[in-house]
């Protein structure tokens, strides 16, 4: 019985045995024999009930026995043992077992390790009739040899030729970016898709290059795997500038993040760990979550490429099951990272999680993987882990009031173990960087007010309206929304109450028409300039 994960080459081994038998390059026991492969799904289909399936099996076995020279290959043999929903389903296994034990049948079965353990191993008598051969996933260099052997068939079918680098990249890129499948199957699939792509683009006999393979991988994973273009290089070199378009202040944190992203894009990092593991410390409302959103937008291309986990929901040991799942039920985090492996994982308010939950992330940050409740491994090596925390806010505020820079505040927190109430030293040390977000100054709040008003103005422009404001009005909003303890959140509410709600009232009363200009003035007044008056 050949045992191995899907895609490791069990069917390919059967095909190889058949080719050797045809060439008569096999041991004497296999000479003058025929290899007959049966699809259990087709065998079960239409059988009606367990009795019908048993009758069908008996008829097939009688034909094989009478032929005398057949080696019966049953792929996914566990399907037969799982056929039907009653305990009598093992009767199918008993039929096979009786003929095998009497020497009438020679059978090669295949199964996945998981299904073998679940359906075959518990039936000891049936299991003893087979010798288990475990098929391991091919090493990348061996998978390349498999692709070289398969290349002529794909080339002939699609009218293309592969460069060696294209074949190598089919293996190397799938091994790095497609973690939920196995070699060589995943590389073979990309190989065929790259051939189809090259043919469509050229319309004639053409070479399949590494660029075609990179394009297929990029489409499958939504991650840039091609060489860095001049425009992207410019963007990476000036990441701080692009991030500051979305985040005001927090220069020290932005610089650390930009360095991590540049290392990741050029692969100057440990590829067995997440792209980066960052801890954002600081008071509420100072831009920790906004920074994570900005990274998702600037680096991953979309704010939606962020998996947000509210850690306050995981404050008991029992909540581990919710995070990683139990047998048969997916976990919130492991399921999400499988769907979006190239994302930011935002662990919001991580200090509220139970210590047992925090221990789980030790493995994620160190090894880049996490095994869920069903035994499947979720891969985090192409994700960025960002944890936010409001812990030690009083200590940060006190040190900030003493005139310390964010870097010195960070040193004080770590060297004096001021975080021990919430995190163990081992947990803190797993992060690549601990960034301290300091309280916002009135000047920074004024910049945030301008940023929020510009976003609102962009939304109004889609309705054909122009929103503008006087400098005095912006300053007034900041005065009303300034609260050192709560950051920019009160400011957002002030803008919502004094501007957004007022504009909504005007729209509902049909006081505005396309091309009208709305001006926010000091005192909170909204003055409307009709289009015909401008």
State whether residue 265 is helix, strand or coil: helix
CATH homologous superfamily, domain 2-134: P-loop containing nucleotide triphosphate hydrolases (3.40.50.300)
The CA-to-CA distance between both ends of the chain, in Å, stands at 83
Residue with tokens 């990441």: 239
The fold of 140-221 is Helicase, Ruva Protein; domain 3 (1.10.8)
pLDDT in tens, 281-314: 988 888 899 899 988 888 777 888 899 999 999 9
State whether residue 222 is helix, strand or coil: coil
Pairing of strands 70-74, 466-469: unpaired
Res 26 pLDDT > 90:
no
123-132 contacts: CB < 8 A, separation 24 or more? 123/81, 123/90, 123/93, 125/97, 126/81, 126/90, 126/93, 126/94, 126/96, 126/97, 129/96, 129/97, 129/100, 129/101, 130/1, 131/1, 132/1, 132/3
Residue 153 φ/ψ, nearest 5 degrees: -70, -45
Calpha distance 530→534 (Å, rounded): 7
Strand order in the sheet with 384-389: 306-310, 344-348, 384-389, 276-281, 433-436
Res 381 pLDDT > 70:
yes
Looking at per-residue pLDDT, the higher value among 195 and 114 belongs to: 195
Q: CA 500 → CA 469, 504, 506, distances in Å? A: 13, 6, 10
Pairing of strands 344-348, 306-310: parallel
pLDDT in tens, 59-81: 889 999 999 899 999 999 888 77
pLDDT in tens, 490-533: 898 999 999 999 999 998 988 888 899 999 998 888 888 887 76
Q: pLDDT > 70: what percent of the chain? A: 94
Looking at per-residue pLDDT, the higher value among 328 and 95 belongs to: 95
Average pLDDT for 85-96? 61
Q: What is the DSSP letter of 77?
A: T
Average pLDDT for 14-30? 88
CATH 1.10.8.60 domain locations along the chain: 140-221, 442-533
208: left (phi over 0), alpha (psi -120 to 50) or beta: beta
**CATH: 3.40.50.2300, 3.40.50.300, 3.40.50.620, 3.40.50.1980. Which one for 232-436?**
3.40.50.300
Cβ–Cβ under 8 Å, residues 437 and 290: no
Cβ–Cβ under 8 Å, residues 436 and 406: yes
Looking at per-residue pLDDT, the higher value among 224 and 507 belongs to: 507
Residue 380: the pLDDT is 93
Q: What is the DSSP letter of 421?
A: T
Question: Exposed e or buried b for every residue in 343-363, given b needs 16+ CB within 10 A?
Answer: bbbbbbbbbbbbeebbebbee
DSSP 480-513: HH-BTTTBTHHHHHHHIIIIIHHHHHHHHTT---
Residue 232: the pLDDT is 63
Cβ neighbourhood burial of 138 (10 Å; 0-12, 13-18, 19+):
buried
Residue 87: the pLDDT is 46
Calpha distance 433→406 (Å, rounded): 13
Question: Exposed e or buried b for every residue in 426-438, given b needs 16+ CB within 10 A?
Answer: ebbebbbbbbbbb
Residue 85: the pLDDT is 42
Cβ–Cβ under 8 Å, residues 426 and 318: no
Nearest to 236 by CA among 211, 267, 212: 267
Residue 303: the pLDDT is 84
Structure tokens at 122: 């518990």
CATH 3.40.50.300 domain locations along the chain: 2-134, 232-436
Residue 470: the pLDDT is 93
pLDDT in tens, 446-496: 999 999 999 999 999 998 999 999 999 999 999 988 877 777 888 989 999
Cβ neighbourhood burial of 27 (10 Å; 0-12, 13-18, 19+):
exposed
Nearest to 338 by CA among 347, 349, 348, 330: 330
Q: Provide the CATH number for the domain formed by 442-533 in this structure.
A: 1.10.8.60
Binning pLDDT at 50, 70 and 90, where does residue 91 land?
A: low
Residue 469: the pLDDT is 94
Binning pLDDT at 50, 70 and 90, where does residue 86 land?
A: very low
Mean of the per-residue pLDDT values for the chain?
Answer: 87
Q: Is the peptide bond before 184 cis (omega within 30 degrees of 0)?
A: yes
pLDDT in tens, 172-221: 999 988 888 899 999 999 999 999 999 988 766 689 999 999 999 988 88
Q: Which of 119-133, 319-333, 357-371, 413-427 has the highest mean pLDDT?
A: 357-371
């Amino acid at each position: 019985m050949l045992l191995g994960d899907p895609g490791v080459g069990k069917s390919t081994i059967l095909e190889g045995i058949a080719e050797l038998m045809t060439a008569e390059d096999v041991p004497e026991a296999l000479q003058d024999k025929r290899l007959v492969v049966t699809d259990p799904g087709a065998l079960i289909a239409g059988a009606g009930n367990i009795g019908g399936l048993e009758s069908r099996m008996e008829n097939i076995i009688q034909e094989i026995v009478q032929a005398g020279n057949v080696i019966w290959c049953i792929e996914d043999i566990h399907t037969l043992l799982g056929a039907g929903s009653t305990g009598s389903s093992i009767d199918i296994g008993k039929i096979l077992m009786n003929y095998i034990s009497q020497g009438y049948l020679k059978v090669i079965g295949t199964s996945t390790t998981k299904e073998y353990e679940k359906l075959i191993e518990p039936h000891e008598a049936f299991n003893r009739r087979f010798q288990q051969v475990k098929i391991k996933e091919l090493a990348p260099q061996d998978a390349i040899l498999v692709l070289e052997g398969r290349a002529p068939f794909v080339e002939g079918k699609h009218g293309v030729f592969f460069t060696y680098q294209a074949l190598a990249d089919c293996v190397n890129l799938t091994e790095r970016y497609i973690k939920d499948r196995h070699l060589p199957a995943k590389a073979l699939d990309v190989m065929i898709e790259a051939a189809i792509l090259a043919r469509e683009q050229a319309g004639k006999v053409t070479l399949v290059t590494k660029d075609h393979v990179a394009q297929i991988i990029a489409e499958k994973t939504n991650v840039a795997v091609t060489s860095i273009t001049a425009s992207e290089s410019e963007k990476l070199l000036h990441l701080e500038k692009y991030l500051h378009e979305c985040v005001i202040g927090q220069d020290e944190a932005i610089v650390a993040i930009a360095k991590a992203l540049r290392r990741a894009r050029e692969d100057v990092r440990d590829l067995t760990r997440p792209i980066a593991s960052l801890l954002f410390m600081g008071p509420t409302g100072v831009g920790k979550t906004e920074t994570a959103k900005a990274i998702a937008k600037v680096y991953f291309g979309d704010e939606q490429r962020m998996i947000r986990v509210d850690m306050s929901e995981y404050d008991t040991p029992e909540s581990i099951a919710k995070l990683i799942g139990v047998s048969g039920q997916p976990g919130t985090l492991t399921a999400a990272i499988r769907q979006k492996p190239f994302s930011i994982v935002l662990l919001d308010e991580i200090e509220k999680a139970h210590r047992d939950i925090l221990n789980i992330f030790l493995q994620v940050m160190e090894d880049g993987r996490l095994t869920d409740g069903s035994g499947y491994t979720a891969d985090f090596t192409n994700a960025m882990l960002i944890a936010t925390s409001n812990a030690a806010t009083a200590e940060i505020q006190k040190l900030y009031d003493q005139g310390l820079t964010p870097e010195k505040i960070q040193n004080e927190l770590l060297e004096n173990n001021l975080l021990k109430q919430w995190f163990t030293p081992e947990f803190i040390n797993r992060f690549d960087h601990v960034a301290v977000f300091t309280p916002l100054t009135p000047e920074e709040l004024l910049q945030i007010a301008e940023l929020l008003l510009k976003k609102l103005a962009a939304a109004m422009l889609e309705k054909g309206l122009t929103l503008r404001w006087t400098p005095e009005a912006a300053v007034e909003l900041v005065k009303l929304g300034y609260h050192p303890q709560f950051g920019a959140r009160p400011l957002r509410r002030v803008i919502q109450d004094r501007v957004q709600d007022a504009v909504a009232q005007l729209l509902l009363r049909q006081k505005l028409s396309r091309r009208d200009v709305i001006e926010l003035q000091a005192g909170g007044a909204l003055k409307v300039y009709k289009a015909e008056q401008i």
